[in-house]
Each structure stands twice: as structure tokens, then as C-alpha cells.
């Protein structure tokens, strides 16, 4: 008999390899490009915490719908790893659009006296998209005036 807990507990290590159309793994981007000038000069998020997090398009389950004022079938889930060197330890997760989302992002993002407005706008854009495909992201970022380093999008020069 399988316990209900196995449905709740997920192994984040399965997300550590990189990005897909459903997963934007900024932890992997930071590990690969974090020491580069390009990465430091044009980060996707102002918050270093968000800039090392994992984002995914998540199908909202029935038992998660109460978190939202207006539940929707798919939401952007932000996973902030507890330990970026060992994802088996887990992380804190937040849905963009859940109740008190801006307050939680401000707390988790460690903004201090700075405003999270740019990061919240970026999260809203990611949430509004049907996927996290790098081509789609690149065009949407350009169209919304969000300048980010190419390392976040992993598109080959030939594909560009």
C-alpha cells in the first residue's frame, strides 16, 4: 500500500540537470555561468536568491487550488533550494499568484530596502506564458524590455 506522503514529497534532484520547456533551472545557470561578466551584468532577477532558483510550469492540483484567489489549471511554481549543492534536502516552494505572493517573494528574495517590482513583473510574465521555451522567453523578454544575459536562454548561435 502506497502512503499519501509519497504523492506530496518530491525529489528535487530530478530537476537539477537543466532547463526544459517546463523547467527553468537558474540554479544550473548560476553553477555554469555565475562567474561570468555577462551573468553578473544582466541577471534575470535582481534577487540573488531567485536567480538561483528553479521555476516550473506546474499543474495545480485540487488540494492546491485554495492557495489562489482565482485558481487556474497551470501556475508558475518557484522552488528555492535549501542547499544548492544537494537538492535531495528539498526547498521552499511558492506559486506566483498565490495569496500573499508579493509578500512571500519579498521575504524569500532578501530585498532589504530595495523593491521587488522588476522581479515581480518578470515572474508575472513567466506565469503568463504557456511554456518556458527559451525561444519564447527571449522574444517575450525583448518585447517587454527585460534585458538578460544570453546564458539564461541557452539558444545556440545558429538557432538565433
State which H helix or E strand residue 33 sits in: helix 26-33
What residues are paired with 77 via a beta bridge? 56, 95
pTM for this model (two decimals) = 0.82
**Gap between the Cα atoms of 117 and 52, Å rounded:** 18
Tens digits of residue pLDDT in 54-99: 999 999 999 999 999 888 899 999 999 876 666 666 778 999 999 9
Which stretches of the chain score pLDDT less than 50? 1-9, 11-16, 156, 158-159
Amino acid at each position: 500500500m502506497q502512503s499519501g506522503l509519497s504523492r506530496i514529497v518530491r525529489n528535487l534532484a530530478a530537476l537539477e540537470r537543466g532547463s526544459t520547456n517546463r523547467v527553468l533551472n537558474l540554479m544550473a545557470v548560476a553553477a555554469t555561468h555565475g562567474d561570468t561578466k555577462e551573468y553578473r551584468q544582466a541577471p534575470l532577477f535582481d534577487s540573488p536568491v531567485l536567480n538561483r532558483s528553479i521555476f516550473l510550469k506546474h499543474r495545480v492540483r485540487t488540494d492546491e487550488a485554495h492557495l489562489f484567489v482565482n485558481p487556474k489549471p497551470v501556475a508558475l511554481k518557484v522552488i528555492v533550494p535549501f542547499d544548492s549543492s544537494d537538492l535531495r534536502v528539498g526547498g521552499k516552494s511558492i506559486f506566483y499568484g498565490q495569496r500573499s505572493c508579493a509578500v512571500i517573494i519579498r521575504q524569500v528574495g532578501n530585498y532589504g530596502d530595495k523593491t521587488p517590482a522588476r522581479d515581480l513583473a518578470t515572474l508575472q510574465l513567466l506565469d503568463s506564458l504557456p511554456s518556458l521555451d527559451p525561444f519564447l522567453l527571449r522574444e517575450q523578454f525583448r518585447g517587454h524590455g527585460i534585458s538578460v544575459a544570453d546564458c539564461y536562454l541557452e539558444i545556440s548561435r545558429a538557432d538565433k
